[in-house]
């Protein structure tokens, strides 16, 4: 499959974030296709355990995007 060339350096931060979101959405449709090492799987399990126990504070994705956008300006 041939992909059109993208000059990432010419994209704004907002455009780059949008591209990342689109890429992530395309990847998450088939999570089984993403290989993980044992160390990566262990780290993910550890982090999920922390979340389940309520040991970490979370920030909603919309808030993270807003903060990144505010930093850009």
Residue 7 CA from chain centroid, whole number: 20
- Mark the ranges of the chain whose per-residue pLDDT is less than 70: 1
pLDDT, residue 67, reads 94
pLDDT, residue 32, reads 83
pTM for the whole thing? 0.47
Per-residue pLDDT tens over the stretch 4-16: 788 999 999 999 9
pLDDT, residue 2, reads 74
Rounded Cα distance, 50 and 44, in Å: 10
Nearest to 72 by CA among 8, 14, 5, 1: 14
The residue extents of the domains of the chain are: 13-28+36-72
pLDDT, residue 40, reads 95
Rounded Cα distance, 69 and 17, in Å: 10
């Amino acid at each position: 499959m041939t992909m059109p060339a993208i000059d990432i350096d010419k994209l704004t931060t907002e455009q780059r974030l949008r591209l990342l979101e689109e890429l992530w959405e395309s990847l998450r449709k088939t999570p089984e296709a993403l290989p993980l090492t044992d160390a990566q799987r262990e780290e993910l399990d550890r982090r999920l355990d922390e979340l389940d126990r309520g040991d970490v504070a979370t920030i909603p994705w919309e808030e993270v995007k807003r903060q990144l956008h505010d930093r850009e300006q």
